[in-house]
Amino acid sequence: MLSKICGCAIFGIEATVITIEVHIGPGVGYHLVGLPDNAIRESNYRIAAALLNNGYRIPGKKVTINMAPADMRKEGSAYDLPIALGILISAGRFTPLKDLSGLILMGELSLDGGLLPVKGALPMAVKAKEEGYAALILPEENAEEAAVVEGLDVYGMKHFREVMDFLSGTSTPRPLKLEKEMLFRDQLEFPELDFSDVRGQESIKRCMEIAAAGGHNLILIGPPGSGKTMLAKRLPSILPPMSLRESLETTKIHSVAGKANSKGLIVQRPFRSPHHTISDVALVGGGSYPQPGEISLSHNGVLFLDELPEFKRAVLEVMRQPLEDREVTISRAKFTITYPSSFMLVASMNPSPGGYFNDGSSPVVNSPAEMQRYMNKISGPLLDRIDIHIEVNPVPFEELAKREKGEGSASIRERVCQARRLQEKRFMKLEKVHYNAQMSTRHIRSFCALDRASSALLKNAMDRLKLSARAYDRILKVARTIADLEGEPHVAAHHIAEAIQYRSLDREGWLG
């Protein structure tokens, strides 16, 4: 007898429906075909044990399992459930009352028949809905993630038995419903880390407000203990709330990485801070079973590289293309997959190998050669993609000891959101640009036109401070954001003047 059950395969962040056909005929053997990988090949041991522990066994006949389309590579252990069920149906040991053609089932089996979580539940649900399936059965841990999709019945189950009871009509569980509005309301609650904890540092806070408002990449340069890490960690608290579109995009990526949160939808912007020993594959994604890397897990959020010079230069270099394109493409002989990676890069570093500014006040003096070697550790092209460089000085003791709190994140965030609204309006007709940092040179020419006075100021500053040509576009973009924070339609001289200050690393003589 032949049975057909539907499952899903994941490619990148998209799913494809796979049909699992089981045929049991005369002879002896167990054949699994349709380009399965090793994890799927091993499924027969798991399935045999799981069935045995539940009073069934794989029949001693010729069992042929085909995963169609047969020319597509299938990976992972998530096909155990549909294969086991197909075997029982084909063997005539189980007759479901429900029509299986409108159902998708996925789950790994433990040896006692328990269902273990799978990766990519959200893309599976999106695909199931798209292709007109009525229901999706998944391990309980994945159900919330999939229930985000409306118009599809999602059932989370703990055990193989539970699935059989449901299909035979013995039990009638309710599909899971997710209160999306409630999740988004939670998002507006105060985040744990607030800018009001930071004493002083008004100019740095201003800088971070600008970075948040325009989505600019940012580097904080300062001696140990000056508060760089503390400040960077508070950045998410002033970023605009996530839209449903952004939230779905980010959750999909976390879902295929098997890192979705227990609430289903990710409604807080991600803040990822990988350790400096990270490998290039872990940072940008890839591997023999391609997985999204940290840059994709920070999609629509912040990637924080603390102590930038400690990262291996080669690792930083691989971030260049994704930073530019806002997505990363991983190529293999037979396929390519693309993961989105639109994130804000925030980095921190000490100004010198000794840790302090080379201005004569520091306890350690570094030679120009030492400084050069230190700066060479950081990839130049990476620095090229950072709009705002800011020097952080430690706050004096008197200020730290003060009782009154600084401005809190809520009111800063309000201004950021207002500036973002202006940008959304400006870029309404552009498909890939939503905020100032995403502008290309052509957009900069049309949206950051300067009057004569500002133009003269910029030229003068570039000459006097010996700013590099690459700084030019960056200054204009940041000036545009500063003008947006003021609600000004045109970029004026004082916006340019402020933006010029945020190019510390471009100044000649910075190396001391």
> For binding to ligand ATP (CB under 6 A), which residues are involved?
198-201, 222, 224-230, 350, 395, 400
Structural tokens at position 150:
């409306």
Residues in the chain: 512
Residue whose CB is less far from ligand ATP, 380 or 396: 396
Least distance in Å: CB of 201 to ligand ATP?
5
Name 460's Cβ contacts closer than 8 Å, sequence gap at least 6: none
The site partner of 200 among Mg ion, ligand ATP, none (C-beta below 5 to 8 Å per kind) is: ligand ATP
Which residue in the block uniquely carries the two structure tokens 């008197």? 398
Q: Which residue number places its CB atom closest to Mg ion?
A: 229
Least distance in Å: CB of 297 to ligand ATP?
22
The site partner of 456 among Mg ion, ligand ATP, none (C-beta below 5 to 8 Å per kind) is: none
Least distance in Å: CB of 226 to ligand ATP?
4
Among positive and negative, which fits the CA dihedral 129, 131, 132, 133?
Answer: negative
229 interacts with Mg ion by CB under 5 A: yes
Q: How far apart are CA 311 and CA 245, in angstroms?
A: 33
Least distance in Å: CB of 223 to Mg ion?
10
Residue whose CB is less far from ligand ATP, 118 or 395: 395
Least distance in Å: CB of 227 to ligand ATP?
3
Q: How far apart are CA 308 and CA 228, in angstroms?
A: 12
Residue whose CB is less far from ligand ATP, 26 or 397: 397
Residue whose CB is less far from ligand ATP, 138 or 305: 305
Least distance in Å: CB of 259 to Mg ion?
25
User: Minimal CA–CA distance to 8: which of 118, 159, 156?
Assistant: 118
273 interacts with Mg ion by CB under 5 A: no
Q: How far apart are CA 246 and CA 288, in angstroms?
A: 28
Residue whose CB is less far from Mg ion, 276 or 332: 276
The site partner of 216 among Mg ion, ligand ATP, none (C-beta below 5 to 8 Å per kind) is: none
Least distance in Å: CB of 393 to ligand ATP?
10
The site partner of 247 among ligand ATP, Mg ion, none (C-beta below 5 to 8 Å per kind) is: none
Residue whose CB is less far from Mg ion, 229 or 393: 229
Point out which span in 136-144, 160-168, 227-235, 379-387 binds Mg ion (CB under 5 A).
227-235
Least distance in Å: CB of 348 to Mg ion?
6
Residue whose CB is less far from Mg ion, 229 or 321: 229
Structural tokens at position 505:
């690393």
SS (H, E, C) 380-425: HHHHHCCCEEEECCCCCHHHHHCCCCCCCHHHHHHHHHHHHHHHHH
The site partner of 495 among ligand ATP, Mg ion, none (C-beta below 5 to 8 Å per kind) is: none
Least distance in Å: CB of 408 to Mg ion?
22
Structural tokens at position 129:
């809905």
The site partner of 226 among ligand ATP, Mg ion, none (C-beta below 5 to 8 Å per kind) is: ligand ATP
Q: How many residues lie near Mg ion (CB under 5 A)? A: 1
The site partner of 208 among Mg ion, ligand ATP, none (C-beta below 5 to 8 Å per kind) is: none
The site partner of 389 among ligand ATP, Mg ion, none (C-beta below 5 to 8 Å per kind) is: none
User: Minimal CA–CA distance to 79: which of 93, 89, 99, 65?
Assistant: 65
- CB 124 within 8 Å of CB 106: yes
Residue whose CB is less far from Mg ion, 193 or 465: 193
Structural tokens at position 65:
């399992």
DSSP letter (8 states) at residue 466? T
Q: How far apart are CA 437 and CA 435, in angstroms?
A: 6
Structural tokens at position 368:
């120009």
Q: Peptide bond before 59: cis, by omega within 30 degrees of 0? A: no
User: Minimal CA–CA distance to 182: which of 222, 216, 148, 135?
Assistant: 148
Structural tokens at position 364:
């350690």
Residue whose CB is less far from ligand ATP, 201 or 366: 201
Q: Which residue number places its CB atom closest to ligand ATP?
A: 227
- CB 395 within 8 Å of CB 200: yes
Which residue in the block uniquely carries the two structure tokens 């000085």? 393
Least distance in Å: CB of 395 to ligand ATP?
4
Q: How far apart are CA 375 and CA 309, in angstroms?
A: 8
Q: Could you list the residues that contact Mg ion (CB under 5 A)? A: 229
